[in-house]
A and B are shown apart, each in its own frame.
Chain A
Amino acid sequence: MDRRARPGDVARARERLGENQPMSPAYERPVYAYRRAADQDAVRAVRHPVVIVGAGPVGLTAAIDCAVHGLSNVLLDAEDTVCDGSKAICFAKRTLEIFDRLGCGERLVKKGVVWNRGRVFFGERQIYEFNLAPEAGNGRPAFINLQQYYLEQYLIERLGELDATKLRWRNTVTAVESRADGVGLTVETPDGPYRMLCDYLIAADGARSAIRHLLGLPCQGQVFQDRFLIADVVMQADFPTERWFWFNPPFHTGQSTLLHRQADNLWRIDFQLGCDADPDEEKRPERVIARIKAMLGEQTRVELKWVSVYTFQCRRLERFQHGRIFFVGDAAHQVSPFGARGANGGIQDVDNLIWKLALVLAGKAPTALLESYDAERIPAADENILNSSRSTDFITPKSEVSRAFRDATLMLAEHYPFARRLVNSGRLSVPAVLHASPLITPDADRFDSAPCPGAPCVDAPIQTAAGEDWLLRLLGNGFTGLYITAEHGKMPARVGRVIEQLAAGTIPVDVLVVGGRLTGDGPGRGIIDVAGLVQRRYGGRPGTFYLIRPDQHVCARWRRIELEAVRSALTRALARAAQRSERVA
């Protein structure tokens, strides 16, 4: 999304079109004041444990996650407000679960628009529809749509509540010095430059990352030539809250169009323009409004809020960790927008990284733990790049023969179900499973169901002494155990002792004891499996035990809890085992 409308473009167009009365109040971007920091007056550069560059969705999430883990941090941003235009709008279930862990999921879901259903059109006809709704008994929907500026604003407000982050606006990094013992930064401000040091630097400064350029690190992959027009439009339309994708629609012949609803009755429309389009000409509001009216009818009253013409890449850095510098989100990897894998992927990067940083900075895990960030997130990025490249190849065929296969698939899809599986208007973001991770202990016991080791935990309705709740809201930030029992009172004494020993370890494991009903006091936190779904979804015969990481991914699982096995899996999850073998070698 590299081109923005000039200020005034939209207002001028509205005047010409005689549409001076806005149908909805405009979103007012908050302006966050630059304030001189004490660091700027220090004689010697001040050192911080963590500095994050870039206050977009991914950088803000990193700062909140640091705060939740008790890490004081500094977040630098070159500008002084939230993003212009809706930008990333689709936030997936996994992302919402991460935001629940960070204490801000509810507000996002309340403001956002929940959607589960998508429709695909070819020419004038609907060829099929799909429903992404998770099965009943999940705390969060498949997706919400929410303008990125709301997400950013709410995350900034969440940071204020946590009070562990120094958020510095109009602070631009102009030099980076990577050293064995830390990272040095030169930061430009309205008052001139200053120096600072940090133990770890998180580069969340987007697709055109300044940190990446300063370090001279190339991103490798595919650059796509097709241009896309993206518009935020207020309109009175009674379209359902669904994702609508048109291949070759009559109102935009030969190209594709995507329609999405957002909060505040704002709609997002993407028009594929082809390779030869002139971006400046295409961004003219009159032209954009004419396109929209061709799509929705002359009578439809539309008000243009934001317009941009963009191209995209599917590419990544070779490695995301460079010494004490970690690249997250678009700074590390970029995808096409089809599939909502950009922001959702970046937020999973942060989810993966911060607990590791917190343990290493607390001296509870070796620095080898940080190396697992690459081992776990590079395959995830590759999966996102593969899926979004394939969607792009389907949506924008590069040759006559690929267009013929595309159109043939679409023709068949209306009547022949097999072809619907081949239609690719975006393979929507799903969480990464950490299959090949060195931190994960594979199954030794027999399990027939998800979540396998490496997968994120699945949700289920539960009840605690405090009332009804969701399982995922009780997991994360530290290591958690999930012990499935028939009845709380009937837990063997041996198991009770193991649970107590795990809670008392140097890396404590907080065990949730899940059973049919609560019976008095026992070790662990008792929760009731109100719908029997914890037991079903975790393949849980009584006696089954799951060890869960601070990022809610399954570390290991067993049919019978044994202290030594759990401790060994924990050692592996902290990369302590790797450190020992290095010493031997």
Chain B
Amino acid sequence: MKPGRLNVEPHLARPDDFYQGLLELHRDLSDEQSRLANAKLILLLANHVGDHAVLDEALRIAREGLAEAVASAGGQPPPVEMDAIRAAMQGSSKEGS
């Protein structure tokens, strides 16, 4: 991989093992402890990556879509019809793998 490009293709050999490990990291921690553990994890991994261009790209992507997510978490959900579901489905099906 060329420097300065964040790899967003699958790169973990055993993704489910990793995800389980991630959840286990937080087992029995308080919310405050979890936040600190996550922060330490990010700092460790950032140092390991080392490439500032890669880190900048990751920082940018991490901010994407947060406004929408917060909006949808509060308030009443809009009524959804089959058409809307289908439209949503077609709108993003190009992204499918």
- Decide yes or no whether A581 CB sits under 8 A from chain B: no
Q: How far is the CA of A401 from the CA of B23 in the complex (A)?
A: 8
CB-CB nearest in chain A for B84: A124
| Residues of chain B lying within 8 A (CB to CB) of residue A424 | 16, 19
B16 and A401: CB pair below 8 A? no
Q: How far is the CA of A418 from the CA of B58 in the complex (A)?
A: 13
Q: B12, B78, B82: which contacts A297 (Cβ < 8 A)?
A: B82
Q: B7, B20, B38, B97: which contacts A128 (Cβ < 8 A)?
A: B97
B92 and A127: CB pair below 8 A? yes
CB-CB nearest in chain A for B87: A124
- Closest beta carbon of chain A to B94's beta carbon, Å: 10
CB proximity to B under 8 Å, residues A399-419 = 399-402, 405, 407, 409, 411-412, 414-419
B19 and A417: CB pair below 8 A? no
Q: A248, A294, A414, A417: which contacts B10 (Cβ < 8 A)?
A: A417
- Closest beta carbon of chain A to B25's beta carbon, Å: 9
Which one of A17-25, A219-227, A249-257, A268-276 is at the interface?
Answer: A249-257
Chain B interface residue count, Cβ-Cβ cutoff 8 angstroms: 40
Binary interface encoding of chain B residues 26-38 relative to chain A, with 1 for a CB under 8 A from any of its CBs, else 0: 1001010010001
| Residues of chain B lying within 8 A (CB to CB) of residue A400 | 31, 34
- Decide yes or no whether B3 CB sits under 8 A from chain A: no
Which one of A187-195, A207-215, A387-395 is at the interface?
Answer: A387-395
B82 and A401: CB pair below 8 A? no
- Decide yes or no whether A295 CB sits under 8 A from chain B: yes
| Residues of chain A lying within 8 A (CB to CB) of residue B39 | none
CB-CB nearest in chain A for B7: A418
- Closest beta carbon of chain B to A252's beta carbon, Å: 8
| Residues of chain B lying within 8 A (CB to CB) of residue A411 | 64-65, 69
| Residues of chain B lying within 8 A (CB to CB) of residue A123 | 72
- Closest beta carbon of chain B to A564's beta carbon, Å: 39
Binary interface encoding of chain B residues 16-58 relative to chain A, with 1 for a CB under 8 A from any of its CBs, else 0: 1011101100100101001000100000000000000000000
CB proximity to B under 8 Å, residues A409-444 = 409, 411-412, 414-422, 424, 427
Number of A-B contacts defined by CB within 8 Å: 110
Given A402-B23, A416-B61: A250 in contact with B77 (beta carbons within 8 A)? yes
Q: How far is the CA of A17 from the CA of B48 in the complex (A)?
A: 62
- Closest beta carbon of chain B to A515's beta carbon, Å: 38
Q: How far is the CA of A401 from the CA of B79 in the complex (A)?
A: 29
Given A129-B93, A129-B97, A424-B16: A250 in contact with B78 (beta carbons within 8 A)? yes
B23 and A124: CB pair below 8 A? no
- Decide yes or no whether A121 CB sits under 8 A from chain B: yes
CB-CB nearest in chain B for A293: B79
- Decide yes or no whether A119 CB sits under 8 A from chain B: yes
B38 and A401: CB pair below 8 A? yes
- Closest beta carbon of chain A to B32's beta carbon, Å: 11
Q: How far is the CA of A234 from the CA of B60 in the complex (A)?
A: 46
- Closest beta carbon of chain B to A399's beta carbon, Å: 7
Q: A124, A126, A418, A420: which contacts B93 (Cβ < 8 A)?
A: A126
Binary interface encoding of chain A residues 91-131 relative to chain B, with 1 for a CB under 8 A from any of its CBs, else 0: 00000000000000000000000000001010111111110
Q: How far is the CA of A411 from the CA of B9 in the complex (A)?
A: 15
Binary interface encoding of chain B residues 55-97 relative to chain A, with 1 for a CB under 8 A from any of its CBs, else 0: 0000001001100010010000111111111001101110111
- Decide yes or no whether A300 CB sits under 8 A from chain B: yes
| Residues of chain B lying within 8 A (CB to CB) of residue A415 | 8, 64, 95
B10 and A421: CB pair below 8 A? yes
| Residues of chain B lying within 8 A (CB to CB) of residue A387 | 16
- Closest beta carbon of chain A to B14's beta carbon, Å: 10
- Decide yes or no whether B11 CB sits under 8 A from chain A: yes
Q: How far is the CA of A422 from the CA of B8 in the complex (A)?
A: 12
| Residues of chain B lying within 8 A (CB to CB) of residue A33 | none
A418 and B9: CB pair below 8 A? yes
Taking Cβ atoms with an 8 Å cutoff, the residues of A that contact B are 119, 121, 123-130, 237, 248-251, 253, 294-297, 300, 387, 390, 393-394, 399-402, 405, 407, 409, 411-412, 414-422, 424, 427
18 contacts between A and B (CB under 8 A): A119-B89, A121-B88, A121-B89, A123-B72, A126-B88, A126-B92, A250-B72, A295-B80, A401-B34, A414-B92, A416-B61, A417-B9, A418-B7, A418-B9, A421-B12, A422-B12, A422-B15, A424-B19
Given A422-B12, A422-B19: 14 more A-B contacts, CB < 8 Å: A121-B88, A126-B93, A126-B95, A127-B95, A129-B96, A130-B96, A297-B82, A399-B34, A407-B69, A411-B64, A414-B92, A414-B95, A418-B9, A422-B16
Q: Which 10 A-B pairs have the closest CB atoms?
A: A129-B96, A250-B77, A416-B8, A297-B81, A401-B34, A421-B15, A126-B92, A401-B26, A421-B10, A250-B80
Taking Cβ atoms with an 8 Å cutoff, the residues of B that contact A are 7-12, 15-16, 18-20, 22-23, 26, 29, 31, 34, 38, 61, 64-65, 69, 72, 77-85, 88-89, 91-93, 95-97
